[in-house]
């Protein structure tokens, strides 16, 4: 009971801090003050290059179910980054080619993409199928991503979500690949083969770096603040303990 109450208090405290950051600082200031990550810089450069060349971006959002204990977070992050990616790509001639390997993620990704296309008055460019369910098994998912990378003539491939070692096939087929995953084998493969890799919590920061919503950036600020607070408490506790002894 006490543990649950403390967790609730901590959750309310963190949410309040995020709200304070959003209210007191402009969204652009929150985004611009984020620590630079080369992978996201490469991604923005790749998006700009794709629009300049009249080519498309391929975005593969993994095959992890939203109800999976180990894949929920990464799948939600991949979906959060989808909307700003689609809206940015629609400034060019071609919408992104989005692939998914899990039905629930596919449905949400398809709806997100169609809404972005409609709000940007680009329904015709997003037809007939803006998001494709390429396969739910490791081998079929990787094969579908490879086909899209070749057939879609993608200038850049971005991979986020739950992906294992099979992602090496998509990396090999892509001209440039930037990505991150929560799967340890997938992380090792991406680190060894891709142009830029998002390691660990870097992949979970995709929503903030793609400017999905100011709350994403505020959450990173709160994380840093809590880290420094924890460091201070540990140092203070150690100092007090040494003085008492």
Residue 81 tokens, joined: 């980054």
Q: List Cα–Cα distances, 122 to 58, 64, 185, 240, in angstroms.
A: 18, 29, 38, 63
Close Cβ partners of 213 (under 8 Å, ≥ 6 residues apart): 80, 207
The answer to whether position 30 is within a domain reads no
Rounded to an integer, what distance in angstroms lies between the CA atom of residue 135 and that of residue 157? 18
**Between these two residues, 207 and 149, which has the higher pLDDT value?**
207
pLDDT, residue 151, reads 55
The answer to whether position 9 is within a domain reads no
* First-to-last C-alpha distance (Å) of the chain: 34
Domain of residue 95, CATH code: 3.40.50
The answer to whether position 29 is within a domain reads no
Beta bridge partners of 97: 58
- 92 Rama sector, left if φ>0, alpha if ψ -120 to 50, beta otherwise: beta
Rounded to an integer, what distance in angstroms lies between the CA atom of residue 183 and that of residue 193? 15
CB 186 within 8 A of CB 164: yes
pLDDT, residue 149, reads 65
What would the pLDDT profile of 63-97 be if each residue is shown by its tens digit? 888 887 677 888 888 999 999 999 888 888 888 88
The answer to whether position 225 is within a domain reads yes
Rounded to an integer, what distance in angstroms lies between the CA atom of residue 79 and that of residue 206? 10
The answer to whether position 192 is within a domain reads yes
Residue 213 tokens, joined: 């919503």
What is the tally of structural domains in the chain?
A: 1
Rounded to an integer, what distance in angstroms lies between the CA atom of residue 45 and that of residue 43? 5
The residue assigned the tokens 């809590």 is: 226
Close Cβ partners of 86 (under 8 Å, ≥ 6 residues apart): 95, 96, 98, 112, 113, 116, 117, 130
What would the pLDDT profile of 211-237 be if each residue is shown by its tens digit? 888 888 888 888 888 888 899 999 998
Helix (H) or strand (E) holding 180: strand 177-181
| 152 pLDDT above the threshold of 70 | no
Residue ranges making up the domain that contains 181: 36-238
The answer to whether position 23 is within a domain reads no
Share of the chain above pLDDT 90, in %: 8
The answer to whether position 84 is within a domain reads yes
Close Cβ partners of 25 (under 8 Å, ≥ 6 residues apart): none
Rg of the chain in Å (alpha carbons): 20
Closest by Cα among 64, 43, 59, 39 to 164: 64
CB 102 within 8 A of CB 175: no
In DSSP notation, 197-210 reads: EE-THHHHTHHHHT
What would the pLDDT profile of 23-57 be if each residue is shown by its tens digit? 777 778 778 878 888 888 888 888 888 888 888 88
For residues 11-15, average pLDDT: 78
The answer to whether position 214 is within a domain reads yes
């Amino acid at each position: 009971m006490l543990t649950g109450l403390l967790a609730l208090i901590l959750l309310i405290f963190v949410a309040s801090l995020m709200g304070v950051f959003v209210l007191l600082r402009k969204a652009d200031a929150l985004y611009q003050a984020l620590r630079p990550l080369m992978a996201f810089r490469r991604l923005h450069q790749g998006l700009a290059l794709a629009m300049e060349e009249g080519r498309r971006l391929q975005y593969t959002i993994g095959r992890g179910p939203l109800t999976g204990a180990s894949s929920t977070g990464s799948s939600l992050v991949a979906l959060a980054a989808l909307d700003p990616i689609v809206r940015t790509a629609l400034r060019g001639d071609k919408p992104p080619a989005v692939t998914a390997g899990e039905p629930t993620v596919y449905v949400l990704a398809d709806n997100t993409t169609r809404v972005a296309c409609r709000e940007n008055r680009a329904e015709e460019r997003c037809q007939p199928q803006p998001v494709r369910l390429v396969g739910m098994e490791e081998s079929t998912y990787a094969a579908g991503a490879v086909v899209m990378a070749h057939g879609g003539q993608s200038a850049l491939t971005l991979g986020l979500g739950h992906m294992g070692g099979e992602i090496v096939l998509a990396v090999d087929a892509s001209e440039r690949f930037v990505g991150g995953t929560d799967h340890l084998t997938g992380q090792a493969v991406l680190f060894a083969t891709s142009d830029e890799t998002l390691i660990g919590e870097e992949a979970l920061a995709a929503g903030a770096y793609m400017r999905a919503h100011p709350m994403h950036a505020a959450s990173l600020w709160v994380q840093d603040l809590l880290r420094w607070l924890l460091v201070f408490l540990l140092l203070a506790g150690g100092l007090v303990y040494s003085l008492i002894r």
